[in-house]
Structure 1
Amino acid sequence: MPAAPVEPTSRLRVVMGEEELLRSRAVSAVRTAVLARHEEAEVHELQAAGLPVGELADVLAPSLFGGHRLVVVSGVHECAAALADALIGYAKDPDPDLTLVIVHFGGKRNEALVKAFTAAGAAVDECLKITSAGDRGAFVRNEVRSAGGRITADAVVALVDAIGADLRQLSAAATQLVSDFGGTVDADAVARFHQGQAEVSGFTVAERVLLGDRAGSIEMLRWALERGVAHVLIADAIADGVRTAARVAALSSTNPGELARVLKMPPWKVKKAQAQSRGWSIDGLQQAIGVAADLNADVKGAAASADYALERAVRRIVTIRAETGRGRPARTGR
Structure 2
Amino acid sequence: MSPAPRRSSARSAIPQVSWRSPQPAPIVLVSGPEEVCAERAIAGIREYLRAEDASLEVSDLRADDYVSGSLLALTSPSLFGEPRLVRVSGVERCSDAFLSEALSYLAAPQEGATVVLRHTGASVRGKKLLDAIRAGQGGGIEIACPAIKRDADRFDFAASEFRGAGRRIAPGALRALVAAFADDVTELAAACQQLIADVPGDIGEQVVERYYGGRVETSAFAVADAAIAGRYGDSLIALRHALASGADPVPLVAAIASKLRTMARVAGNREPSAALAARLGMKDWQVDRARRDLSGWSEQSLGRAIHAAARADAEIKGASRDPVFAVERLVTVIATRSPYAS
TM-score (norm 2): 0.53
The structural deviation recorded for 1:5 is 4.0
Quote the residue 2:70 is aligned against.
55
Whether the 8 Å contact between 1:3 and 1:124 is mirrored in structure 2 is no
Structure-2 separation of matches of 1:197 and 1:23: 26
Quote the residue 2:19 is aligned against.
2
Structure-2 separation of matches of 1:179 and 1:74: 30
Partner amino acid, structure 1, of 2:126: N
Quote the residue 2:127 is aligned against.
111
Quote the residue 1:234 is aligned against.
none
In the TM superposition, structure 1's runs of 4+ consecutive aligned residues that sit over 6 Å from their partners are none
Quote the residue 2:98 is aligned against.
83
Q: Tell me, what secondary structure is at the counterpart of 1:45?
A: strand
Q: How does 1:129-144 map to 2 (within 5 A)?
A: 129-144=147-162
Aligned residue-pair number: 201
Q: Tell me, what secondary structure is at the counterpart of 1:53?
A: coil
Whether the 8 Å contact between 2:26 and 2:140 is mirrored in structure 1 is yes
RMSD after superposition: 2.8
Q: Tell me, what secondary structure is at the counterpart of 1:184?
A: coil
Q: Tell me, what secondary structure is at the counterpart of 1:185?
A: coil
Quote the residue 1:12 is aligned against.
27
Q: How does 1:284-299 map to 2 (within 5 A)?
A: none
Structure-2 separation of matches of 1:3 and 1:143: 10
Quote the residue 2:290 is aligned against.
none
Identity value in percent = 34
Whether the 8 Å contact between 1:148 and 1:178 is mirrored in structure 2 is no
Whether the 8 Å contact between 1:3 and 1:123 is mirrored in structure 2 is no
Whether the 8 Å contact between 2:66 and 2:97 is mirrored in structure 1 is no
The structural deviation recorded for 1:132 is 0.5
Quote the residue 1:43 is aligned against.
58
Quote the residue 1:153 is aligned against.
171
Quote the residue 1:167 is aligned against.
185
Q: 1:2 to 1:176 in 2, by over 3 A?
A: closer
Q: Deviations over 1:12-64 (max 9, x none)?
A: 11111101111111111111111122221211111111111223332233434
TM-score (norm 1): 0.54
- Of 24, 29, 41, the residue aligned with 1:26 is 41
Structure-1 separation of matches of 2:20 and 2:155: 21
Q: 1:95 to 1:155 in 2, by over 3 A?
A: same
Quote the residue 1:188 is aligned against.
206
Quote the residue 1:124 is aligned against.
142
Structure-2 separation of matches of 1:197 and 1:161: 9
Q: 1:123 to 1:161 in 2, by over 3 A?
A: same
Structure 2 unmatched ranges of 5 or more: 1-17, 217-247, 252-342
Q: 1:181 to 1:35 in 2, by over 3 A?
A: closer
Q: Deviations over 1:154-209 (max 9, x none)?
A: 222211111223222112222333445433323332222223789xxxxxxxxxxx
Whether the 8 Å contact between 1:6 and 1:30 is mirrored in structure 2 is yes
- CA radius of gyration, larger in: 2
Q: 1:179 to 1:3 in 2, by over 3 A?
A: closer
Structure-2 separation of matches of 1:195 and 1:128: 29
Structure-2 separation of matches of 1:3 and 1:148: 14
Quote the residue 2:86 is aligned against.
71
Structure 1 unmatched ranges of 5 or more: 199-256, 258-264, 267-334
Q: 1:126 to 1:96 in 2, by over 3 A?
A: same
The structural deviation recorded for 1:147 is 3.5
Q: Tell me, what secondary structure is at the counterpart of 1:32?
A: helix
The structural deviation recorded for 1:128 is 1.0
The structural deviation recorded for 1:3 is 7.2
Structure-2 separation of matches of 1:190 and 1:46: 40
Whether the 8 Å contact between 2:59 and 2:85 is mirrored in structure 1 is yes
Q: Tell me, what secondary structure is at the counterpart of 1:169?
A: helix
* 13-22 or 189-198, larger mean C-alpha shift: 189-198
